[in-house]
């Protein structure tokens, strides 16, 4: 079904994605400046900083392209691609990802939602923890667990799909866009079980 995004929602999403890329790109610039200032004396440290930051930026760009760009809605992205991108996103961070899902194939748009849900799940684990992806293309569950695990209030409201454009915030924009994408592709993306230190996000066919 036709689904639209307001200009405000598009602006907030672009701002949010750029904000998430500022840190690694800025660190690359810092590494270059360090080499320029010190020459080869601290070149090893600077090169390590540049390499790590470039890797982080590349992983974020790849996920953002598939989750929010046109490529993720096409048939070209496979379950293996989605899993590799998600594993790359979490590798080396505070959240340990485990994958027990059975996803040989899935309808268009399904993997976009999976990647967007992964971003939301990470936000809900501010102190780190674990994230388990389980289920299949009929119903997929992302189970998050960790100290202080919880989705922000604005994220919960945005997932419901009823938030007025004027009340959209940078923190809730990913959830808002993900909910609209789910509607457009014929799925639901919903907050499931909640308890102290854990929550689930479920993707299912509408």
What does the pLDDT profile of the chain (206 residues) look like in tens digits?
568 888 889 889 989 888 888 888 888 887 777 777 776 555 677 778 788 888 888 888 989 988 998 876 656 678 888 899 999 999 888 999 999 999 877 888 899 999 999 999 999 999 999 999 999 988 999 999 999 999 999 999 999 877 788 888 889 999 999 999 999 999 999 998 888 999 999 999 88
DSSP-assigned beta bridge partners for residue 95:
129
CB 70 within 8 A of CB 100: no
> Would you state the torsion angle of the CA atoms of residues 53, 57, 63, 68, taken in this order, to the nearest 10 degrees?
150
What is residue 44's predicted lDDT score, i.e. its pLDDT? 73
Query: Any residues with CB less than 8 A from the CB of 204 and at least 6 apart, and which?
Result: 138, 139, 140, 187, 188, 190
Where along the chain do its domains lie?
7-205
Pick the CATH number of 7-205 from 3.40.50.1370, 3.40.640.10, 3.30.390.50, 3.30.565.10: 3.30.565.10
Q: Could you tell me the CA-to-CA distances from 90 to 104, 107, 189, 195 in Å, in that order? A: 22, 25, 21, 23
Write down the pTM of the prediction: 0.87
What is residue 114's predicted lDDT score, i.e. its pLDDT? 94
What is residue 76's predicted lDDT score, i.e. its pLDDT? 62
Q: Which backbone phi and psi does 185 adopt, to 5 degrees?
A: -95, 0
Q: How many CA atoms lie within 13 A of 179 on its CB side?
A: 17
What is residue 73's predicted lDDT score, i.e. its pLDDT? 63
What is residue 1's predicted lDDT score, i.e. its pLDDT? 58
Query: What is 82-130 written as a DSSP string?
Result: HHHHHHHHHTTSSEEEEE----S---TTHHHHHHHHHHHHHHT-TT-EE
Instruction: List, in sequence order, every beta strand (DSSP E) within 146-197.
Output: 187-195
Query: Whose CA is closest to 123, among 103, 142, 99?
Result: 142
What is residue 4's predicted lDDT score, i.e. its pLDDT? 81
Rounded to the nearest 10 degrees, what angle do helices 110-123 and 43-68 cross at?
130
Q: Which backbone phi and psi does 188 adopt, to 5 degrees?
A: -120, 145
What is residue 72's predicted lDDT score, i.e. its pLDDT? 62
């Amino acid at each position: 079904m036709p689904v639209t995004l307001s200009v405000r929602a598009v602006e907030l999403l672009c701002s949010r994605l750029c904000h998430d890329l500022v840190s690694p790109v800025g660190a690359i610039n810092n590494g270059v400046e360090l080499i320029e200032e010190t020459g080869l004396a601290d070149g090893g440290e600077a090169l390590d900083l540049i390499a790590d930051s470039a890797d982080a930026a590349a992983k974020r760009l790849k996920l953002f392209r598939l989750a929010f760009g046109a490529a993720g809605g096409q048939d070209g992205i496979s379950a293996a691609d989605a899993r590799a991108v998600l594993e790359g996103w979490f590798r080396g961070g505070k959240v340990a990802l485990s994958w027990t899902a059975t996803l040989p194939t899935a309808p268009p748009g399904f993997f976009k939602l999976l990647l967007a849900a992964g971003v939301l799940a990470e936000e809900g684990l501010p102190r780190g923890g674990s994230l388990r992806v389980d289920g299949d293309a009929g119903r997929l569950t992302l189970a998050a667990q960790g100290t202080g695990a919880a989705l922000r209030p604005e994220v919960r409201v945005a997932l419901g799909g009823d938030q007025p454009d004027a009340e959209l915030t940078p923190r809730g924009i990913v959830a808002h866009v993900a909910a609209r994408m789910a509607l457009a592709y014929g799925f639901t993306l919903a907050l499931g079980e909640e308890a102290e230190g854990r929550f689930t996000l479920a993707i299912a066919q509408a």
